[in-house]
């Protein structure tokens, strides 16, 4: 009986040692560590996930700040999960290219995607676009939003779309006509002319020579918890939280550029 018990202990110890060594080997391979860690010793803390030049912008209001138009749970998930994932994946992508690892001018990269190394171009297009689009979106919402833009923007909107109501109608039509996921935008072109356009996925208007003033996220993650499949109800509610002062300032700066 004693022999059998000793054998069992030896077998268990050998198995544990083998497992520990295997884990150690994996850790060493993962971290490129050259420091030996004896089995049973406390292993070094794992390296933090890749960080990079891109960080989350602070949310200008609480998760519930846009209630009841946009519910707190949607804002929290949208910001902490979806937007944060774009930032993390963008940092992972640029970390693979030393010349880009410190670059922080995302706008310039999106304007000239063809200059981004092909190996990470799609990742920058999707995740860089996602980061840029969402960063813009959060700052153009406000708990005190809604109403009409200041005159500096109302005038050109009316000159372009006949009226502010018709501009909103055009946005709703574009949103309802967008198949799958994407964005509806109010943009300026090189001739400083306003228009409404859509982009698929997380593509930025910057990548097609347009400057985005305001964007409506029509991915289902932006509205499904509250509005389910009725995208048009989400758009109708959204107008009540648009910070037209911010959008108008953006328009003014773009017109001076």
Structure token digits, residue 50:
């890749």
Query: At closest approach, how far in Å is the CB of 200 from Fe ion?
Result: 13
Between 24 and 79, CB nearer to Fe ion:
79
Burial of 133 (0-12, 13-18, 19+ CB in 10 A): buried
**Which class for 201: exposed (0-12), middle (13-18), buried (19 or more C-beta within 10 A)?**
middle
Tell me how far, at minimum, the Cβ of 199 lies from Fe ion, in Å: 13
Nearer to Fe ion, 88 or 222 (CB): 222
**Least distance (Å) between residue 134 CB and Fe ion:** 6
- The stretch near Fe ion (CB under 5 A) out of 88-96, 114-122, 210-218, 228-236 is 210-218
Q: Which of 93, 132, 187, 217 binds Fe ion (CB under 5 A)?
A: 217
Q: Which residue lies nearer to Fe ion by CB, 87 or 222?
A: 222
* Residue 78: burial class (beta carbons within 10 Å; 0-12, 13-18, 19+): buried
Please identify which residue in the block is written with the tokens 């996602």.
Answer: 130
Nearer residue to Fe ion within complex by CB, 164 or 219 = 219
If one asks whether residue 203 binds Fe ion (CB under 5 A), the answer comes out as no
Q: Cβ of residue 133: shortest distance to Fe ion, in angstroms?
A: 7
Q: Residue 60, preceding bond cis, omega within 30 degrees? A: no
Cα–Cα dist 204/134, whole Å: 11
Interacting residues toward Fe ion by CB under 5 A: 217, 219, 222
């Amino acid at each position: 009986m004693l022999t059998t018990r000793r054998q069992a202990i030896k077998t268990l110890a050998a198995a544990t040692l083998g497992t520990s060594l295997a884990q150690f080997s994996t850790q060493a391979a993962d971290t490129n560590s050259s420091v030996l860690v004896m089995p049973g010793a406390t292993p070094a803390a794992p390296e933090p996930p890749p960080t990079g030049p891109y960080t989350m912008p602070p949310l200008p209001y609480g998760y519930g700040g846009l209630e009841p138009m946009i519910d707190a749970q949607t804002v929290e998930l949208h910001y902490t999960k979806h937007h944060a994932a774009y930032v993390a994946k963008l940092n992972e992508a640029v970390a693979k290219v030393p010349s880009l690892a410190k670059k922080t001018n995302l706008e310039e990269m999106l304007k000239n995607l063809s200059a981004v190394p092909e190996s990470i171009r799609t990742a920058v297009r999707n995740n860089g676009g996602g980061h840029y689009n969402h960063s813009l979106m959060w700052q153009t919402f406000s708990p005190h939003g809604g109403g009409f833009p200041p005159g500096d923007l109302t005038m050109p909107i009316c000159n372009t779309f006949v009226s502010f109501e018709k501009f909103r109608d055009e946005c709703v039509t574009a949103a309802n006509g967008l198949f799958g996921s994407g964005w509806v935008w109010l943009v300026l072109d090189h001739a400083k002319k306003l228009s409404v356009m859509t982009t698929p996925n997380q593509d930025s208007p910057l990548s097609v020579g347009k400057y985005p003033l305001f964007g409506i996220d029509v991915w289902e993650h932006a509205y499904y918890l509250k509005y389910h499949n009725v995208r048009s109800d989400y758009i109708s509610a959204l107008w009540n939280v648009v910070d037209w002062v911010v959008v108008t300032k953006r328009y003014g700066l773009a017109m001076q550029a």
